[in-house]
Structure 1
């Protein structure tokens, strides 16, 4: 018991301080009790719980903890089915285990490799050959993720939230059946309210022979024990380009099979700039192509055949790994939503109102399972907290999905907030918008002799609404860090005059945003050659 209390104190201190120090798994075993289960006390409404969250990702966990802090008796169900490749993981959802967190760490590893090359130009001398060890990176990332899994477990325990590592499906309107996939144990619990936050998983096509048997996805790439080697990446999504980008940066021969456009849904001028940068820095692209088959050879390598959709021409090559990143599907199929009247679209995504309430009034949904909502971790987390506050009666605030900033962590990052240029024209008319833009040169680039041809900023002004900034886009180093502050300003209704009056911090990349003085309409060359102005 003494070990248990000490372990919890250490973890609690880490949580409060934002620390991510690793906690030994022995602490988890020490806190696990073999005592017989106690019959749960019913809520005032006669249910086992006030609020049951199905799904242990960032949105579900945030909502559960908020609900518990406001006095609602809460439980979380979480089950991770192995990927076709056999990968599984712990509590925390896609972001923690196979998404944002490992992606950013692998991206950082690739950036460090590039900076090693730059360092010589800054006077650093080292003669040894620089190589990268995949196993070292993988182990470091895995250890960090396990520490986050543990922190989530302890945070639920500290919040007095019951946690069930079991798969949930609805039996009736207020009852969920829990199934333990390992032991076969089945039990039921009841609740006044439910939250569906099961997220999604990568899609592998059934019409490409060999894909399901031999390919991997983003569920697998971060946890491969052996380096992926020469890799064929299928897709033009942000996941596809991010993975291809860090694989190239880590030194692996990488090819992207791009069916149509890169980064669908993003500003296409910026998206093509990102793809062009990647192509000029080592990533190969097979454009307008789709895979036809994946065949495993006697030596273990994968023979991939692909077809050009315009010409019909076919090509093939052998690879060590094939990664599909062609989209994700919502994990709602096994929830038995028909039994409780929760409506979904043709892709299994949940249809909700502006309070995330489904067609069953006491069942809510958030995150990647929602129709036409941003599939972003911070969005899901804030949405979850707001749902909990409304249910607890402490707030009536609804989630505002407008002006949500995001970043694509490709080798040269792309950050955006608000409307793409194409969408701004569609909504407001070309005559009612003004696009301000500029290329810029980061002050760290000249000594390293790096080209700035892809370093570009633009923002979109609504001339019919007080010159309000309705879209901002930036390609360049640390784009995400820069965009966060401008996103806050846009939330406050920033207009062109206010942006123009903002004094930049010199010398930074962020100051380039406030220095822009050229519009697309003017036809003036937006190439920036001056140090400051």
Structure 2
């Protein structure tokens, strides 16, 4: 079988699998414990959770396992471009899962480019020349998401949690009005109510055409046509991750940033991430702000999006001179922030206030609002890390505090995370600047190194942005590790392991006395010995 026939066979097999799963999904719904929202009778529960994302599902299943009668309401309002999805929230449908899969697709492209150095070639002894099928990738990703949607439904049934595909609004602090897609209403009453509605991308409505012609991270994973030349607007991790995998898949990509990228992360490593992306071909339009988006017909008769924008030429202050520019692209993706989906919950009835800019809800250490029986978890809670594992753990712990006499609170400090840009950035704990502000510069020491992964040598890949920084603080008479930041391949996998030890309060001496696994990227952490204060060159040599 030749390569094209093999590819065709795989594609046919995939489509057959997709068709089977969709049929199975449709036929099996009759067996799932899903409540018919046409039933207008009032229903009582111990706990009602508004939001079927990771945190809401975790909380509801935990409470049900503890013997309580639980219901989950979940309804997805379509994006401005009409995109909607199933049960599971942002992570499953338009966040972590599809993002990581597309990130992986772009890494495979990089591996193919390196393959000739490792002896892989075509029949003519030349480097492999491959093309990418956007629609096949989107279909495969969508197929996986559908399986996860269905899996969440099955789990709710197995855990005896009632699921309503309805939008929930407060009537009072014990009553929810549930409305289905056809406008049918019903009433749910509960002792406790958890708000776990997550967030949605925020479009810059001051920019004419942004909402009409632009897309967001809610849409990129569902595009029926390849995005083509793409402008990503924003400096968040969402913006950089999307730009990274689009560029890696072969689409001309530029990023428009107005201010400091990755503001919540270490400034030095954030710069390394951008440097690497720039070296890989991503264009950055710095100090720039979009003014309007128009749909135009170019000289060749092709429909394009024209973005008018201004660039600040005097970086010393925000009042410097401005230059006006225009750029024509096929797709404009806005990743300029997110807002909690709390606007239509009728929180004003309860007297619950929300943050003006983010629409998030203030909560106490117990995740409670100003009302003792109404709680908030996940991205809708003000000041919490907006991460899926945080929402899951906080949801489980809340259920245990409510129904199993637990007093354990969620620890929102020392939470590891990773930015899945082409060169991954894994982090936990204090940045260097945060540590100095918290402990004083005289009490902070940084161990660091530039390193080169072994797999970079044969293809002569640039490793100038592969870097590790361990932030230590002199507290309680010892040099405790309070932060770890790393850019490099599989940085997330590396940081996850060290996160356990750092959370337990390890010292730099503990790290340095640990034998490394050779040859790995992770061993570069335990080999760290050069401090910033020494002024020595932090570039390490290979074994």
TM-score (norm 1): 0.92
2:523 paired residue number: 511
The answer for the alignment partner of 1:17 in structure 2 is none
What SS does structure 2 have at the residue aligned with 1:407?
A: strand
In structure 1, C-alpha distance between the alignment counterparts of 2:347 and 2:504, rounded to whole Å: 39
Distance 2:542 2:285 in 1: 37
Cα distance 1:487–1:32, how it changes in 2: closer, same or farther (>3 A)?
closer
Question: Unaligned stretches of 5+ in structure 2?
Answer: 1-19, 314-320
Over the aligned positions, Cα root-mean-square deviation in angstroms equals: 1.8
Partner of 1:306: 309
1:455 and 2:462 matched = no
Kept after mapping to 1: 8 A contact 2:117/2:458: yes
Match of 2:480 in 1: 468
| Residue 123 to residue 387, structure 1, CA distance change in 2 (3 Å) | same
Deviates more, 1:394-403 or 1:342-351: 342-351
| Structure 1 residues 94-243: aligned runs within 5 Å | 94-126=90-122, 127=126, 129-180=129-180, 182-243=181-242
Aligned equivalent of 1:324, options 310, 326, 334: 334
The residue that corresponds to 2:66 in the other structure is 70
Unaligned runs of 5+ in 1: 1-20
Q: Residue 397 of structure 1 aligns to a residue in which SS?
A: coil
Deviation at 1:22, TM superposition (A): 5.2
- d(CA) in 2 for partners of 1:176, 1:39: 15
Shift of 1:63: 0.3
User: 297-306 or 116-125, which moves further after superposition?
Assistant: 297-306
CA distance in 2, matches of 1:60, 1:148: 15
Aligned to 1:368: 379
User: Structure 1 41/395 Cα, relative in aligned 2: closer, same or farther at 3 Å?
Assistant: farther
d(CA) in 2 for partners of 1:324, 1:29:
36
Superposition deviation, residue 36 in structure 1: 8.3
- The size of the alignment, in residue pairs, is 506
**1:45-86 deviations in whole A, cap 9, x for unaligned?**
xx7000000000000000000000001100000000000011
Once the two structures are TM-superposed, the CA of residue 294 in structure 1 deviates from its matched residue by 0.4
Residue 499 of structure 1 corresponds to 511
CA separation in 2, counterparts of 1:380 and 1:287?
Answer: 33
Structure 2 Cα separation of the partners of residues 140 and 357 of structure 1: 40
Bigger Cα displacement from structure 2, 378-387 vs 30-39: 30-39
Structure 1 stretches (4+) deviating beyond 4 angstroms?
Answer: 32-42
Rounded to whole Å, the distance in 1 between the matches of 2:428 and 2:32 is 44
Shift of 1:35: 10
The superposition leaves residues 145-171 of structure 1 with CA deviations (integer Å, 9 ceiling, x where unpaired) of 000000001111111111110100101
Give the conservation status (yes or no) of the 8 Å contact 1:111–1:411.
yes
Structure 2: how far apart are the matches of 1:372 and 1:296? 38
**Is the 1:420–1:471 Cα contact (8 Å) retained in structure 2?**
yes
Residue in 2 that maps onto 1:87: 83
Counterpart Cα distance in 1 of 2:364 and 2:307: 44
Aligned to 1:334: 344
Alpha-carbon separation, structure 1, partners of 2:264 and 2:528: 25
| Cα distance between partner residues in 1 of 2:466 and 2:195 | 40
Conserved 8 A contact 1:78-1:165? yes
Q: Counterpart of 1:338 in 2: which secondary structure?
A: helix
**Does the CA-based 8 Å contact 1:214-1:322 persist in structure 2?**
yes
Secondary structure of the residue that 1:219 maps to in structure 2? coil
Shift of 1:28: 2.6
Correspondence for 2:5: none
Secondary structure of the 1:59 match is helix
| Residue 72 to residue 40, structure 1, CA distance change in 2 (3 Å) | farther
Give the aligned partner of residue 26 of structure 1.
Answer: 26
Q: Do the aligned residues in 1 keep the contact of 2:289 with 2:311 (CA within 8 Å)?
A: yes
How far apart in 2 are the matches of 1:249 and 1:119?
16
